[in-house]
Amino acid sequence: MNVEIIAVGDELLIGQVTDTNSGWIARQLNLMGWELTEVTVVRDRKDEIKKAVLDAFTRVPVVLMTGGLGPTKDDITKKTLCELYGCSLHRDEKVQEMNEERFARKGFTMNELTRDQALVPDACTVIYNPVGTAPVMWFDRDDKVLVSMPGVPSEMQYAVSHEVLPRLRSRFNDHSSVRHATCLVKGYTESGLAIVLADFENELPPYIHLAYLPKPGVIRLRLTATGLDDAEVSSGLEIQFEKLTALLGSHVFCREDVSLAGALGNILRERNLTIATAESCTGGNIAHELTLVPGCSAYYRGSIVSYANDVKTSLLGVSSETIEQNGVVSLPVVEEMVRGVRHALHTDCAIATSGIAGPDGATPGKPVGTVAVAVACGENVVSKMVMAGTQRERNIERFTHSALLQMIDLLTP
Amino acid sequence: MNVEIIAVGDELLIGQVTDTNSGWIARQLNLMGWELTEVTVVRDRKDEIKKAVLDAFTRVPVVLMTGGLGPTKDDITKKTLCELYGCSLHRDEKVQEMNEERFARKGFTMNELTRDQALVPDACTVIYNPVGTAPVMWFDRDDKVLVSMPGVPSEMQYAVSHEVLPRLRSRFNDHSSVRHATCLVKGYTESGLAIVLADFENELPPYIHLAYLPKPGVIRLRLTATGLDDAEVSSGLEIQFEKLTALLGSHVFCREDVSLAGALGNILRERNLTIATAESCTGGNIAHELTLVPGCSAYYRGSIVSYANDVKTSLLGVSSETIEQNGVVSLPVVEEMVRGVRHALHTDCAIATSGIAGPDGATPGKPVGTVAVAVACGENVVSKMVMAGTQRERNIERFTHSALLQMIDLLTP
């Protein structure tokens, strides 16, 4: 089933807010075997919203709309939908009650604008929103379904997961079962991996599909099985996933769809190891990535961000001579940092970085984008110089990615 | 002048990549006084790309296209543009040479696919791309301009800044001068600020416009002046900006368009103060935000991320009794943390956080989303409990934002 999204809001078109909703919805549709075929981002203008809806319905039977449902007068999606469906607004008592309770609980008083969040078009089915004031509106006419949802990501996500997708499946009699299995692979380029997997892919049964999702140094492989018999789909997928991971052997370092930090976390948890980081140029971003993973306190103990050189000396025990002789962006320095932080935080493993994120700081022979990374597991220390690009923010990201991958490499050789 | 963007790529519609290009371009257009009126995201399909272009040209004279210019066979934008403009591809010698040099410099050999990056449609003007292999293609027919650019953000950004925008201004005889002045304001809600500024806004000359860009606890105010006489535009803007900031007095804590961490950095630099952070639940994210700011080494010395409780004790000197008596998410604990990190890193200022990002870790009376924040400047310590929401990643962001704002509050009361 093909779906389009219409994202409404001036804030998206002046670049104040990035539309992350569409990508999130795309992934959810994908997981249930449906396809997002187009996204249109329009301003808060009646004629532009209407035209976008009518155009979309010439191509697909389902349109998901996000945004434009706030209480202020620039949000005109609701009135526009009334015009499109030739109906009026009425007050929904249940929405009104829910919003009153919500405001009372928070100790706020409702003004006229927030009270009107309970006005809904006559032509729609109201889907109640327990996490916000704007209800979800479901329009179903001439075999075409339009669902209008709030643009606030948490509200949209709640509605999509709990209401919209289950209702769409049932509305379009989609009783198919869709299952996924994902693994993370290292040590291959995308094209190299495609050659190794050519026969496997050719021999896949027609109801199972393989997708490559590559990033530098790591490729996410996802098998998707679709069919009507859930047991068959599950067992077929399991067989192929076992075949795939057996084929790739130790190149597979994670059998779950998680972030790189999540994959490292799984390895640490399984092997009952703890970790710390000592960061200079990455400035806490490795720690941040590790702590985005729920439950990371099982293996992550903490970090020392030693941005100033004397902090490297005082808290991590790096010797001033090592810094003087090799420069602060050097393998000897990160090796001392990684040993120092392991010692200071009493962990089994550690990661250390020192580099030049830019725009300043380049030295002869060490341009912006240079980073020294050391990783340690017990007394075993491995260090490496890596080159990234010229943009500060992107360099910090790439240094982080590279350091996490290097730690995974040491633990899963 | 109105502009539309067409972003091309299956990866955008399966949610593998988030389209951050459109927002970036929107901000650049905005800064030069042009408007992005619609964004369409389409798959790598000839018919869909063609239809999107033809539709867009019924609405606007300028279409910027990103993506679909890679060397692999799924990238079909170039061939599609040939069909649209009724022309063929030819090899551009200069692109060929530049790419050969590029590959030689990196020590790679070119294969057939990368060699064909030098094929360009006859109907376009080629804009050379010094930072990637795909050139930018400029089509100009019937007073409508289409520019096709690579989807890689760094390549697109280079092209837009250095080539595309200057050429568009000249092509459409846009000799207007656009100037901006931005300040960051605290201590007002958006509606409260609008009341205070009502007269100021009404009295603005017609060529100057005020925009509100609100975030929790802080509102970015941007004045934009547009006109033909650059000197007049600049001086008019300066007068109004001085009037605005005088009106808001000490509510204005930054007179530059920077991030919250950048604003804090400016204050620290001006007052010659240094800073460190002690993070528990924010896990290094405050350090990360502070170190995203170029030149932060002038005031930022480092951080201790004390995720495990005994690290709070051993490295930050928090007493076990304080933790036992108050719980680890408490004002006494963050107050000891903030003093501890100031001492350990010898800084003037410090920020400390301890909270429950979720999904686990809630205790009676302290639900997920609770955070204790302490900030210090010299011996002066202020601490506060703050509530955020239920989602881990978003909580970490909100805790960080709140802690930075609290530090700014202490320094600019």
pLDDT (tens digit, 9 = 90+) per residue, B145-198? 999 999 988 899 999 999 999 999 999 999 888 899 999 999 988 878 988 999
The model's confidence at residue B317, banded by pLDDT at 50, 70 and 90, is very high
pLDDT band at A359 (very low <50, low <70, confident <90, very high): very high
The predicted-structure confidence for B249-264, as pLDDT tens digits, reads as follows 999 999 999 999 999 9
For residues A247-275, give the mean pLDDT.
Answer: 97
pLDDT at A71 over 80: no
**Contacts with A, B 36-65, CB within 8 Å:** 36-43, 48, 55
| B292·A396 Cβ contact <8 A | yes
pLDDT at B368: 95
Q: Which residues of B touch A285 (CB under 8 A)?
A: 284, 288, 291
CB nearest to B39's CB, from A41, A286, A344: A41
User: Max Cα separation, chain B?
Assistant: 79
Among candidates B277, B315, B358 on the partner chain, residue whose Cβ is nearest the Cβ of A344: B315
Tell whether A15 lies on the interface with B, counting CB pairs under 8 A.
Answer: yes
State which of A388-397, B217-226, B396-405 shows the largest mean pLDDT: B396-405
pLDDT-based confidence at residue B389 (cuts at 50, 70, 90): confident
pLDDT at A413: 84
In the prediction, which pLDDT does A211 show? 87
Q: In the predicted model, what is the mean pLDDT of residues A182-194?
A: 90
Give the model's pLDDT for residue B410: 97
Tell me what pLDDT residue A250 has. Answer: 94
Give the model's pLDDT for residue B115: 84
Give the mean model confidence (pLDDT) for residues A192-197.
89
Give the DSSP per-residue string, B294-342. TTGGGTEEEEEEE-SHHHHHHHH---HHHHHHH-SSSHHHHHHHHHHHH
Over residues A209-213, the mean pLDDT reads 87
Q: What is the CATH number of domain B177-254?
A: 3.30.70.600
Note whether A307 contacts B291, CB cutoff 8 Å: yes
Q: Do A17 and B40 touch (CB under 8 A)?
A: no
Interface residue B114 vs chain A (CB under 8 A): no
Q: Which of chain A's residues have a Cβ under 8 Å away from the Cβ of B393?
A: 292
**Segment B285-306, tens digit of pLDDT:** 999 999 999 999 999 999 999 9
Smallest CA-to-CA distance from B340 within B352, B330, B331 is with: B352
Is the pLDDT at A106 greater than 90? The verdict is no
Residue B40 C-alpha, separation from nearest chain A C-alpha, in angstroms:
5
Q: Is A351 helix (H, G, I), strand (E, B) or coil?
A: strand
Is residue B210 helix, strand or coil?
strand
- Beta carbons of A308 and B285 less than 8 Å apart: no
The alpha carbon dihedral of B328, B331, B336, B341 has a sign of: positive
Q: Does A354 touch chain B (CB under 8 A)?
A: no
Residue A113 pLDDT > 80, yes or no? no
Mean pLDDT value across residues B308-318: 96
Label residue A151 by pLDDT band (50, 70, 90): very high
Q: Which CATH superfamily is domain B260-411 in?
A: CinA-like (3.90.950.20)
Provide the terminal-to-terminal Cα distance of chain B, rounded to the nearest Å. Answer: 43
State whether residue B230 sits within 8 Å of chain A by CB.
no
Residue range A345-373: mean pLDDT, rounded: 95
Write the DSSP symbol of residue A63: E
Of B18, B290, B358, the CB nearest to A23: B18
| pLDDT of the residue at A272 | 98
pLDDT of residue B214: 83
Interface test with A, best of B41, B273, B316 (most A CBs within 10 A): B41
What is residue A50's predicted lDDT score, i.e. its pLDDT?
Answer: 97
Choose from B305, B328, B395 for mutation: most chain A CBs within 10 A. B305
Measured between CB atoms, which of A19, A285, A360 is closest to B284? A285
Is residue A27 less than 8 Å (CB to CB) from chain B?
yes
Q: Which residue of chain A comes nearest to B23, CA vs CA?
A: A15
Give percent of chain B above pLDDT 90.
82
pLDDT at A212: 84
Nearest one of A334, A341, A394, A403 to A369, comparing CA atoms: A394
B216 band by pLDDT with thresholds 50, 70 and 90: confident
Output the CA–CA distances (angstroms, integers) from residue A302 to A106, A340, B292, B307, in the order listed. Answer: 35, 13, 20, 5
Of A302, A305, A306, the CB nearest to B308: A302
Interface residue of A17, A291, A392, A394 to substitute, partner B, most B CBs within 10 Å: A291
Identify from A37, A288, A396, A398 which residue to disrupt to test chain B contact, counting B C-beta atoms within 10 A and taking the largest count.
A288
Distance from C-alpha of B79 to C-alpha of A363, rounded to nearest angstrom: 44
Residue B212 forms contact with A (CB below 8 Å): no
The residue among A195 and A295 whose pLDDT is bigger is A295
Q: Tell me: the pLDDT tens digits for A376-399?
A: 999 999 999 999 988 899 899 999
Lowest mean pLDDT among A204-218, B44-58, B226-240: A204-218
Reported ipTM? 0.89
Q: Is A270 exposed, middle or buried (0-12, 13-18, 19+ CB in 10 A)?
A: exposed
CATH number corresponding to A2-171: 3.40.980.10
pLDDT (0 to 100) of residue A375:
98
Whether the CB of A279 is below 8 Å from some CB of chain B: the reply is yes
pLDDT at residue A192 is higher than 90 = no
Model pTM?
0.90
Interface check B329 vs A, CB under 8 A: no
Q: What pLDDT, on a 0 to 100 scale, did the predictor assign at position A368?
A: 95
Compute the mean pLDDT over every residue in chain B, rounded to the nearest whole number: 94
Instruction: Report domain extents, chain B.
Output: 2-171, 177-254, 260-411
